[in-house]
């Protein structure tokens, strides 16, 4: 009999559920809007509804080993959402494992959504074949995940991998966490857009490049995508923004390399749509911030598992936790 | 039959070897000068001589499970010294496992000497009872070690835990690794002494405190101990040095917390002889550099396993590797 896992990816906007096998092949995919504003209890009902659908769609000769859930926030070892999920009102305090066990007789395991992406990369993406992996997801903020000796490392209360809050400039920009100079203030999509606004304003009477002119039309419309559209045209101010963002990112990457000496670092998330130029610049600057012997044995690559990384990682986590147990 | 392990701690100055049981009780201790200047081959002979002595001193009803070695530098998975042991000329390139296996029929495992201290703290010291532990050893330089899910984490080629080279001030003091602002330039014994010299010189015509007066007699004689002797007398300039060193240390500790969300951070090494004042100040400042939810669940304590931490950790590593295998 074949073995399948259910993978659930809970996002602020969409909820996704899949049936997958150990090779990461997806047998079924469902997606619906999360409607986070309707509250945590409603979101949990949607997850249960998805699990029901997925169980019913299971081929008769396959067995489901368990349910893996990637969710915003921190999750205790027994599946209680402890906090850190500000975009899902009422989600804190939800118990994730009991209702799944009670209703379907299936065991469940949950972890932070960005953390599980690291597992997806490790099993099915850019981290295949290495033991120790550090992932950075550069999106609206910056999250991260660690795979240690081939296993997802969650840390105390599932909180490991808060790479976005590595302080790379102790007197730098104030972060919404209350501290200063967190790397996500510089190298997330939001951070890059903010740097774009700052550099455009500063250059309005100095270097009025096409990027500066475009940005000054309406600073509120500056995005990281816009910055990189101009980087690809070699606009000197856009390139300065890019260099600053990548230098800050390299500080965080270099530090993580020094602490963990991973085999590989994976950079993913929406910001990496700008592609090779980010990878190359971050790679170059990490040499400034990492012990040479460690840097020498660690490569930096772009994530591969794409938009399904959340459900793939969640399913892989269920296999790790429940297969043969 | 009882089980024992051999623990070897190779230092630049002394070589130490012990027989210990699973509770970390030492049955035998031998110590001789390393005489590193005589070269790597000679050092290896001394280690073999120690193992021979320790085997001969073993009670007849006990069994030795294997040999654990803590050594400066990086060690490959098969026991080859890859580098990073500058104070032991000719040590790079040494194969550690084969001669022990061939001569005594015992399996051996080696790791970086500071890394194994983390295991000693985890089993027998300030890290007892927690799963995830990050240790910092503040000595001449700063080293570190990680225990992840109860096991020593070595990283690629045993290079994990280079906490001393976390860049805490990207435009800061040049480090001998070639990068700038590594935390060991501020918070190691050497770093604190250097800050003492700088602050004393800068204050010679501004705040001529007793510390400044004493330091200016001969700047080459300023040590971290001298700085802390004056800190304990509330000398304002010595306190400034202390605050700066601890702020820098807190940056590194806060970063490691954000990355790993460990249960506990242990600070050890000679610098911690100054005691509670360092722990308190570092603890206080980490809040500036760590995500509040992570900081809340992680405590910071002083190392307990003392001068035998190297041999204790080496022996514990041998138990982990070879007991029941």
Instruction: Give the separation between CA B147 and CA B108, rounded to whole angstroms.
Output: 20
Q: Is B179 on the interface with A (CB under 8 A)?
A: yes
Find the CB nearest A155 among B83, B163, B261. B261
Q: What is the mean pLDDT of residues B94-106?
A: 97
Positive or negative torsion for Cα B271, B276, B281, B283 = positive
From chain B, pick out residues whose CB is under 8 angstroms from the CB of A263.
156
CB-side exposure of B190: number of CA atoms within 13 Å?
A: 12
The position carrying tokens 């001569």 is B103
**Are the Cβ atoms of B162 and A258 closer than 8 angstroms?**
yes
Q: Is A174 on the interface with B (CB under 8 A)?
A: no
| Mutation site, B255, B256, B262, interface A, largest A CB count within 10 A | B255
pLDDT of residue A83: 85
Q: Is B159 on the interface with A (CB under 8 A)?
A: yes
Q: What is the mean pLDDT of residues B213-230?
A: 97
The two structure tokens encoding residue A260 = 């963990």
CA distance A270 to chain B (A): 21
Nearest C-alpha in B relative to A257: B160
Find the CB nearest B259 among A180, A259, A290. A259
**Are the Cβ atoms of B298 and A156 closer than 8 angstroms?**
yes
From chain A, pick out residues whose CB is under 8 angstroms from the CB of B293.
74, 82-84, 159
Instruction: Give the separation between CA B256 and CA A182, rounded to whole angstroms.
Output: 13
Residue-wise pLDDT for B126-166, tens only, equals 999 999 999 999 999 999 999 999 999 999 888 999 999 99
pLDDT of residue B189: 96
pLDDT of residue B28: 87
Q: Indicate the SS3 state at residue B80.
A: strand
pLDDT of residue A306: 84
Q: Is A129 on the interface with B (CB under 8 A)?
A: no
b/e code A26-54 from CB counts within 10 Å (16+ = b): eebebeeebebeeebeebbebbeebbeeb
Higher pLDDT, A207 or B213: B213
pLDDT of residue B324: 82
For residue B305, name the pLDDT band (cuts at 50, 70, 90): confident
Helices (H), chain A: 40-56, 97-104, 113-124, 184-187, 189-202, 210-217, 224-231, 236-260, 276-289, 292-296, 309-322
Q: Indicate the SS3 state at residue A290.
A: coil
Identify the weakest region by mean pLDDT among B94-108, B239-253, B297-311. B297-311
pLDDT of residue B60: 87
Q: What is the mean pLDDT of residues B181-209?
A: 96
Positive or negative torsion for Cα B161, B163, B166, B172 = negative
CA distance B3 to chain A (A): 28
Q: For residue B108, which of B162, B65, B72, B169 has the smallest C-alpha distance?
A: B65
Find the CB nearest B260 among A155, A180, A298. A155
Q: What is the mean pLDDT of residues A290-302?
A: 93
From chain B, pick out residues whose CB is under 8 angstroms from the CB of A184.
none
CA distance B100 to chain A (A): 27
CA distance B60 to chain A (A): 38
The position carrying tokens 């210990």 is B20
The pLDDT of residue B92 is above 80? yes
The pLDDT of residue B236 is above 80? yes
Nearest C-alpha in B relative to A285: B179
The pLDDT of residue A1 is above 80? no
pLDDT of residue A259: 97
Find the CB nearest B153 among A82, A148, A160. A148
The pLDDT of residue B1 is above 80? no
Find the CB nearest A262 among B74, B83, B156. B156
Q: For chain B, give the percent of residues with pLDDT over 90.
A: 86
For residue B80, name the pLDDT band (cuts at 50, 70, 90): very high
Q: Is B256 on the interface with A (CB under 8 A)?
A: yes
Inter-residue contact B73 to B116 (CB < 8 Å):
no
For residue B83, name the pLDDT band (cuts at 50, 70, 90): confident
Nearest C-alpha in B relative to A264: B156
pLDDT of residue A60: 87
Residue-wise pLDDT for A194-211, tens only, equals 999 999 999 999 989 999
For residue A229, name the pLDDT band (cuts at 50, 70, 90): very high
B232 CB-near residues (< 8 Å, 6+ apart):
B274, B277
A307 CB-near residues (< 8 Å, 6+ apart):
none
Positive or negative torsion for Cα B244, B249, B250, B251 = positive
Q: Is A256 on the interface with B (CB under 8 A)?
A: yes
Q: Indicate the SS3 state at residue A31.
A: strand
DSSP state of A245: H
Q: Is B157 on the interface with A (CB under 8 A)?
A: yes
Residue-wise pLDDT for A262-276, tens only, equals 999 999 999 999 989
pLDDT of residue B306: 84
Find the CB nearest A165 among B167, B258, B260. B258
Find the CB nearest A293 among B149, B159, B263. B159
Q: What is the mean pLDDT of residues B191-216?
A: 96
For residue B187, name the pLDDT band (cuts at 50, 70, 90): very high
From chain B, pick out residues whose CB is under 8 angstroms from the CB of A159.
261, 291, 293-294, 297
Inter-residue contact A296 to A165 (CB < 8 Å):
no
CA distance B168 to chain A (A): 7
**What ipTM does this complex have?**
0.93
Residue-wise pLDDT for B237-284, tens only, equals 999 999 999 999 999 999 999 999 999 999 999 999 998 999 999 999
Q: Tell how strand A299-302 and strand A142-148 pair up.
A: unpaired
From chain B, pick out residues whose CB is under 8 angstroms from the CB of A260.
146, 153, 155, 160, 259
Of chain B residues 59-88, which have a CB less than 8 A from chain A?
Answer: 74, 82-84
């Amino acid at each position: 009999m074949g073995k399948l896992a259910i993978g659930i990816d809970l996002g602020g906007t969409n909820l996704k559920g899949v049936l997958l096998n150990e090779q990461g092949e997806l047998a079924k995919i469902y997606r619906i809007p999360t409607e986070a504003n309707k509250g945590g209890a409603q979101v949990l009902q949607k997850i249960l509804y998805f699990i029901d659908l997925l169980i019913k769609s299971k081929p008769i000769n396959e067995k489901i080993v368990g349910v893996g859930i990637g969710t915003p926030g921190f999750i205790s070892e027994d599946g209680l959402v402890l906090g850190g999920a500000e975009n899902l009102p009422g989600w804190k305090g939800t118990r994730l494992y009991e209702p799944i066990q009670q209703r379907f007789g299936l065991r469940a395991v949950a972890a932070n959504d960005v953390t599980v992406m690291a597992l997806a990369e490790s099993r099915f993406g850019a981290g295949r074949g290495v033991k120790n992996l550090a992932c950075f997801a550069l999106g609206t903020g910056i999250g991260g995940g660690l795979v240690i000796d081939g296993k997802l490392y969650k840390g105390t209360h599932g909180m490991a991998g808060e790479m976005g809050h590595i302080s790379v400039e102790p007197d730098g920009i104030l972060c919404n966490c209350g501290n200063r100079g967190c790397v996500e203030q510089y190298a997330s999509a939001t951070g890059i857009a903010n740097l774009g606004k700052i550099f455009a304003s500063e250059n309005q009477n100095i270097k009025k490049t096409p990027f500066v002119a475009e940005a000054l039309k309406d600073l509120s419309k500056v995005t990281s995508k816009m910055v990189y559209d101009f980087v690809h045209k070699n606009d000197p101010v856009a390139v300065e923004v890019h260099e600053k963002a990548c230098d800050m990112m390299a500080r965080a990457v270099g530090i993580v390399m020094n602490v963990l000496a991973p085999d590989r670092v994976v950079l993913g998330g929406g910001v990496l749509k700008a592609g090779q130029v980010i990878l190359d610049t971050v790679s170059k600057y990490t040499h400034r911030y990492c012990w040479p012997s460690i840097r020498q044995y660690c490569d930096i690559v772009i994530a591969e598992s794409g938009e399904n990384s959340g459900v793939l990682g969640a399913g892989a986590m269920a296999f790790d936790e429940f297969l043969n147990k």
